[in-house]
């Protein structure tokens, strides 16, 4: 006999508390994906969630944290209160910490915070301060023993004499920091496991020697006279900026520079970098004495006709190139070269072969003879070419310029009959594809 309906409902148990029964690792994964203020607010969810945020291995403190509060207090006071909670309540290991307070000009409790962090096993550290008040790192900062990834912005770096580097450091990112060239060299050379280096600095004009036997990636932007990559046998990715306004160092040699980069796979050189590398030579060599057999991708900016031999020498010396990007904006800023001058430059490279090239992108094309001859050279020497993207310079008469370029391209005997050629202008949102 079935029990009455009312009794049946009365016998049912209460639904289980699913939030409280979540596994520990799931709770931690949820908390780490929340902004810190919201993670703190999970205290009210259940007894099991109470103060879970205090054991998070990763913390991020930025402007959003105190901007979200409704208290009518200055950002500095709010920041101080947050620091107090972290310093007094957090327990357990802390492996990653991000502090981004570029909106503040006063830094209360920062010294205590860094000392607190130095006593944890921090592996990933980001410290970003205001450009109006660069923060001088305290001595406790230089005692991190487990640091693997470090990002500093708007800091003054001046280590104590006994500092011997970060033994475990794998990546270093310095942006707008104040540091002498000698200290920078020491910081790099005393980090034997360093694989990734990003330097965005403008406060030093001295020479810098990069001694990093395990370095794989180097991205540099800034004001400097000379960079010596003296010991980087594993470097596979290199990015150098515009350097045309700096002094040309007599001790830098274009050919020898690339001899030190046998493992190079990705190369990005911006405007004027040839002046940074080539030193008073009568002319750029037809090819490098040591070929760049591992180079797959190259990005070059042309500041004028003088840069073209430099670009072609690199291309010619890289037999396994797969992708080429060339910015031609600088070619439109100088007088139109004579036809004979263009022919003379390109004639020296008429025997270039690009048997592995698959994609080409040309930006800022205006239909000049030097540009069209470059396009012709790439189309006739690349049997495996899949796509060529031609970004036409913003023009009041885009259609006329496009038709002119297209008409010239149709007369070129291409090595790859399957290559797709796309003419476009991102600024005007025009795009035209031709086979």
Identify which of 34, 32, 37 has the alpha carbon closest to the alpha carbon of residue 79: 37
Cα separation of 227 and 346, whole Å? 30
Per-residue tokens: 226: 């000379």
Provide φ and ψ at 392, rounded to 5°: -75, 135
Residues 98, 60 contacting (CB under 8 angstroms): yes
- Quickly state the pLDDT bin for 219 (edges 50, 70, 90): very high
Any domain includes 254: yes
Query: Quick check: 138 pLDDT over 90?
Result: yes
pLDDT, tens digit, 9 for 90 and up, residues 316-327: 899 999 999 998
Query: Quick check: 41 pLDDT over 90?
Result: no
Query: Quick check: 7 pLDDT over 90?
Result: no
Per-residue tokens: 404: 């002119």
Percent of the chain with pLDDT over 90: 32
Identify which of 295, 59, 333 has the alpha carbon closest to the alpha carbon of residue 307: 333
Any domain includes 391: yes
Query: Quick check: 398 pLDDT over 80?
Result: no
pLDDT top residue among 164 and 11: 164
Cα separation of 185 and 179, whole Å? 10
Query: Quick check: 35 pLDDT over 90?
Result: no
Identify which of 335, 338, 283 has the alpha carbon closest to the alpha carbon of residue 312: 283
| Most confident among 156-160, 305-309, 345-349, 429-433 (mean pLDDT) | 156-160
Identify which of 254, 344, 345 has the alpha carbon closest to the alpha carbon of residue 308: 345
Any domain includes 158: no
Q: How many domains does the chain have?
A: 1
Residue 203 is predicted with a pLDDT of 61
Mean pLDDT estimate for the chain: 80
For the residues 184-200, what does the mean pLDDT come to? 93
Residues 131, 79 contacting (CB under 8 angstroms): no
CA dihedral sign of residues 356, 330, 394, 413: negative
Residues 27, 49 contacting (CB under 8 angstroms): yes
Range in 208-217, 218-227, 327-336, 417-426 with the lowest mean pLDDT: 327-336
Query: Quick check: 246 pLDDT over 60?
Result: no
Residues 233, 256 contacting (CB under 8 angstroms): no
Residues 144, 168 contacting (CB under 8 angstroms): no
| Most confident among 76-90, 211-225, 269-283 (mean pLDDT) | 211-225
- Quickly state the pLDDT bin for 39 (edges 50, 70, 90): low
Residue 377's CATH number: 3.80.10
Range in 42-46, 270-274, 349-353, 393-397 with the lowest mean pLDDT: 270-274
Per-residue tokens: 169: 């450091």
Q: 430-434 and 420-425: which strand pairing?
A: antiparallel
Residue 11 is predicted with a pLDDT of 47
Range in 175-184, 204-213, 256-265, 366-375 with the lowest mean pLDDT: 204-213
Residue 1 is predicted with a pLDDT of 45
Any domain includes 214: no
- Quickly state the pLDDT bin for 299 (edges 50, 70, 90): very high
**pTM, 2 dp:** 0.82
Residue 427 is predicted with a pLDDT of 59
Identify which of 54, 131, 42 has the alpha carbon closest to the alpha carbon of residue 91: 54
- Quickly state the pLDDT bin for 386 (edges 50, 70, 90): very high
Instruction: Give the structural domain span for 368.
Output: 241-435
Per-residue tokens: 259: 């001899």
Residue 56 is predicted with a pLDDT of 78
Query: Quick check: 83 pLDDT over 80?
Result: no
Query: Quick check: 10 pLDDT over 50?
Result: no
Residue 395 is predicted with a pLDDT of 64
Residue 78 is predicted with a pLDDT of 73
Percent of the chain with pLDDT over 70: 74
Any domain includes 378: yes
Query: Quick check: 30 pLDDT over 90?
Result: no
Query: Quick check: 254 pLDDT over 70?
Result: yes
The number of C-alpha atoms within 13 Å of 344 and in the hemisphere containing its C-beta is: 8
All residues at 6 or more sequence positions from 236 whose CB lies less than 8 Å from its CB, including other chains: 216, 217, 263, 264, 265, 266, 294
Query: Quick check: 123 pLDDT over 70?
Result: yes
- Quickly state the pLDDT bin for 224 (edges 50, 70, 90): low
Any domain includes 304: yes
Number of Cβ within 10 Å of residue 353's Cβ equals 12
Residues 117, 90 contacting (CB under 8 angstroms): no
Any domain includes 185: no
Per-residue tokens: 152: 């500093």
Cα separation of 172 and 407, whole Å? 49
For the residues 214-243, what does the mean pLDDT come to? 84
Per-residue tokens: 378: 């790439």
Query: Quick check: 341 pLDDT over 50?
Result: yes
CA distances from 36 to 28, 39, 69, 175 (A): 12, 5, 12, 25
Provide φ and ψ at 360, rounded to 5°: -135, 140
Residue 73 is predicted with a pLDDT of 61
Identify which of 328, 331, 330, 415 has the alpha carbon closest to the alpha carbon of residue 377: 415
Query: Quick check: 168 pLDDT over 70?
Result: yes
Any domain includes 388: yes
Instruction: Tell me whether residue 132 is exposed, middle or buried, using C-beta atoms within 10 angstroms of its C-beta: 0 to 12, 13 to 18, 19 or more.
Output: exposed
Residue 368 is predicted with a pLDDT of 85
Local structure of 400: helix, strand or coil:
helix
Number of Cβ within 10 Å of residue 190's Cβ equals 16
Cα separation of 274 and 272, whole Å? 5
């Amino acid at each position: 006999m079935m029990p009455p309906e009312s009794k049946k409902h009365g016998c049912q148990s209460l639904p289980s508390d699913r939030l409280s029964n979540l596994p520990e690792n799931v709770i931690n994964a949820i908390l780490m994906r929340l902004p810190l203020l919201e993670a703190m607010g999970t205290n009210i969810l259940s007894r099991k969630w109470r103060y879970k945020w205090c054991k998070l291995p990763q913390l991020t403190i930025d402007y959003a944290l105190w901007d979200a509060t409704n208290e009518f207090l200055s950002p500095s006071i709010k920041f101080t209160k947050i620091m107090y909670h972290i310093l007094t309540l957090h327990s357990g290991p802390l492996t990653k910490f991000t502090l981004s307070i570029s909106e503040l000009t006063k830094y209360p409790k920062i010294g205590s915070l860094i000392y607190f962090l130095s006593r944890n096993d921090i592996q990933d550290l980001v410290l970003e301060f205001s450009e109006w008040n660069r923060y001088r790192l305290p001595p406790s900062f230089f005692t991190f023993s487990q640091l693997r990834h470090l990002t500093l912005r708007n800091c003054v770096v001046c280590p104590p004499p006994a500092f011997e580097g970060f033994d475990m450091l794998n990546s270093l990112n310095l942006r707008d920091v104040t540091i002498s060239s000698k200290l920078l060299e020491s910081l790099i050379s005393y980090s034997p496991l360093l694989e990734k280096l990003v330097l965005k600095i403008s406060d030093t004009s001295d020479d810098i020697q990069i001694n990093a036997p395990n370095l794989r990636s180097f991205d540099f932007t800034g004001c400097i006279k000379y960079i010596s990559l003296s010991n980087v046998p594993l470097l596979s990715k290199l990015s150098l900026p515009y350097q045309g306004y700096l002094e040309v160092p007599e001790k830098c040699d274009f050919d020898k520079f690339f001899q030190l980069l046998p493992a190079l796979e990705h190369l990005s050189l911006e405007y004027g970098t040839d002046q940074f590398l080539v030193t008073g030579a009568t002319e750029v060599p037809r090819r490098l004495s040591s070929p760049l057999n591992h180079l797959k991708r190259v990005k070059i900016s042309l500041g004028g006709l003088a840069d073209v031999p430099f670009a072609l020498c690199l291309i010619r010396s890289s037999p396994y190139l797969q992708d080429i990007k060339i910015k031609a904006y600088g070619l439109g800023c100088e007088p139109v070269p004579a036809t004979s001058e263009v022919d003379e430059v390109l004639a020296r490279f008429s025997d270039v072969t690009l048997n592995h090239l698959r994609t080409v992108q040309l930006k800022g094309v205006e239909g000049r003879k030097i540009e069209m001859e470059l396009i012709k050279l790439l189309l006739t020497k690349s049997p495996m070419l899949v796509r060529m993207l031609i970004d036409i310079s913003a023009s009041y008469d885009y259609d006329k310029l496009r038709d002119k370029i297209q008409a010239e391209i149709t007369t070129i005997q291409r090595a790859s009959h399957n290559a797709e050629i796309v003419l476009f202008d991102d600024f005007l949102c025009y795009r035209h594809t031709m086979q």
